[in-house]
Chains A and B, each alone.
Chain A
Amino acid sequence: MMRCSDYRRSMMVDPRDADPQLQGHRVSCHDCQVYTERLLRFESRLDRALRVAVLPLPVKSPPQTRLSAVYRQGWWAMAASVLLAVVVVGALWLSVPGPSLAADVVTHMAGEPDAWRRTDVPVHSSELQDVLRNSHLRLATEAGVVSYASSCEFRGHRVPHLVIQTASGPVTVMVLVHEPAAKALRFDEGGYRGVIVPVPGHGSLAVLTQESATTSKAIEQIAARVLDSIVWTG
């Protein structure tokens, strides 16, 4: 039986450690669940803080004749072209702002790896209703088999965290009532691909999958289906 102090020490070393013993303790200890949520939020902030915006390097195009001369010199030619391409593409890539809400969603996933299993066994309907009722919504039509439903702490609020079994495999849905989004955002990070779509008047909805074969467009279609099935009750 793992002690809380040992669990927390391990989490301080690596909050994303998926060791089954750690997961077992987390499931059985409410205080350590709360502690983990806090730690994962901190970790998400740390991760975002480390991803500083890298300023593009100045790119100066050398005159054609000089470039040609350089290109005639063995590996220098290759090295120069590698650097030039890296600078240009790197600059473009880095001009994209970091998806901080997406990063938090992905970080949250690390805390509940068990939710992702493929199954056709639905979660008990009363359990699902309890989770949804707390966020003033219900699912009007079946968007698929809901195999997991939990009311999770996310950025200081309890939010529904559902796993729905679809033809593309299990997808996670988080109803982020307190997180308005100006526009839809696609993300692909940490082994998860997903979208965050705005829900006017009700924050946003995050839908993500671990299936690398599922396209962003397919995930958007799933998100649209889920949105269609939501009835807001408050």
Chain B
Amino acid sequence: MKDQVGGNQKRARFQALCQSLRPDLLRFAFWLSRDRALAEDVVQETLLRGWKAHDSLLDEAAAKPWFLTIIRREYARSFERKRFVTVDVDELVAREEPMLAAAEAQDLAEMRAAIFKLPDEYREPLVMQVLMGLSTAEIARELGLSGAAVLTRLFRARKQLRTLCGEDTSLDPQE
């Protein structure tokens, strides 16, 4: 009886955790894959794997990077299962219109198109920092990079993004 109560509590806690994190996990998977359907598949699989392995999550505060690791692994697995072809960014924008538009202002649509154009190695750490709130050290750990390499990528990501968005970059520092 006591075990059952404990199990229910554990399940409820994990449910609540998934509920709070799912939107950002889905967004992260979307920006990682640039494909809504694939992002949904990856997150669904991630949550299932998360539940199976939830005993290894010792600190709920660390759940976000923990899930990110699973998502990135799942996304990599999707490449093993299926060989993706390179697509034109304009096609991507058009295809993902329902996900991107949603009655948002034009400037957001332009920004999203620009994010699509960023190379993966710049887009991923940027999304981790801005959307997921990860620190430089956490990003470095997740991507297997040095802290300095992460700083460089974040710098280049913003610099390229600002140029792509037609921002005034006259005051931007040089690398």
Residues of A within 8 A of B (CB): 5-6, 8-9, 12-14, 31, 35, 38, 42-43, 45-55, 57, 75, 78-79, 81-83, 85-86, 89-90, 93-94, 100
CB distance from A13 to the nearest CB of B (A): 5
CB distance from B116 to the nearest CB of A (A): 10
The answer to whether A83 touches B111 (Cβ under 8 A) is no
The answer to whether A86 touches B155 (Cβ under 8 A) is no
On chain B, the residues within 8 Å of A83 by CB distance are 18, 44, 47-48
On chain B, the residues within 8 Å of A53 by CB distance are 99, 102
The answer to whether A50 touches B130 (Cβ under 8 A) is yes
Name A94's closest neighbour in chain B (CB-CB): B23
Top-10 shortest CB links A-B: A49-B111, A53-B102, A8-B173, A79-B51, A50-B131, A9-B173, A86-B18, A5-B173, A90-B22, A13-B154
* 17 cross-chain CB contacts under 8 A: A8-B172, A12-B155, A14-B129, A35-B171, A38-B167, A42-B162, A45-B111, A46-B115, A49-B112, A52-B102, A53-B102, A54-B30, A82-B11, A82-B18, A89-B19, A90-B23, A100-B105
Name A41's closest neighbour in chain B (CB-CB): B167
CB distance from B88 to the nearest CB of A (A): 20
Of A12, A51, A57, A78, which one neighbours B27 at CB under 8 angstroms? A51
Name B109's closest neighbour in chain A (CB-CB): A49
CB distance from B86 to the nearest CB of A (A): 22
The answer to whether A82 touches B44 (Cβ under 8 A) is no
CB distance from B42 to the nearest CB of A (A): 13
> B63 within 8 Å of A by Cβ?
no
Name B98's closest neighbour in chain A (CB-CB): A55
CB distance from B172 to the nearest CB of A (A): 7
> B107 within 8 Å of A by Cβ?
yes
> B31 within 8 Å of A by Cβ?
yes
On chain A, the residues within 8 Å of B23 by CB distance are 54, 90, 93-94
